[in-house]
Amino acid sequence: MRKNFLFVFLMMTMVASMNIGICSANDGDGDEAYAEEQIRIAEMAKPVVRDLEYPEWGFRIHAWITGMGSETVAHVQVIDMNSNLVIKQLDRKCNYIDVIPEYSSN
């Protein structure tokens, strides 16, 4: 009987501890954690821009990436340096997945 009591007490303690841990993990830091998450999402949503100039050929390249995850799109413009007109523009859907930093290998 004493073994059963100890076993039941131990199991109840473990279940209670797990419930407390799960509830604490869901709470996070409240508004502060939400604000930090929104800032992180806004930073990731900013386009990545790259500009290159080729004066010897008379054009420059303007490239940028927008979107995240499966909505990622790469844009490239070839621009005439004399007239500043866009000669060609390419927009290609990349379909990248977001890398999870904890599991990425560098």
- From the centroid of its chain, how far is CA 76? 22
Mean pLDDT of the chain: 75
Residue 94 tokens, joined: 């990349």
State the Cα–Cα distance between residues 23 and 41, nearest whole angstrom.
25
pTM: 0.48
Mean local confidence (pLDDT), 15-34: 62
pLDDT at 20: 62
Query: Angle at CA 42, nearest 5°, toward 53 and 40?
Result: 110
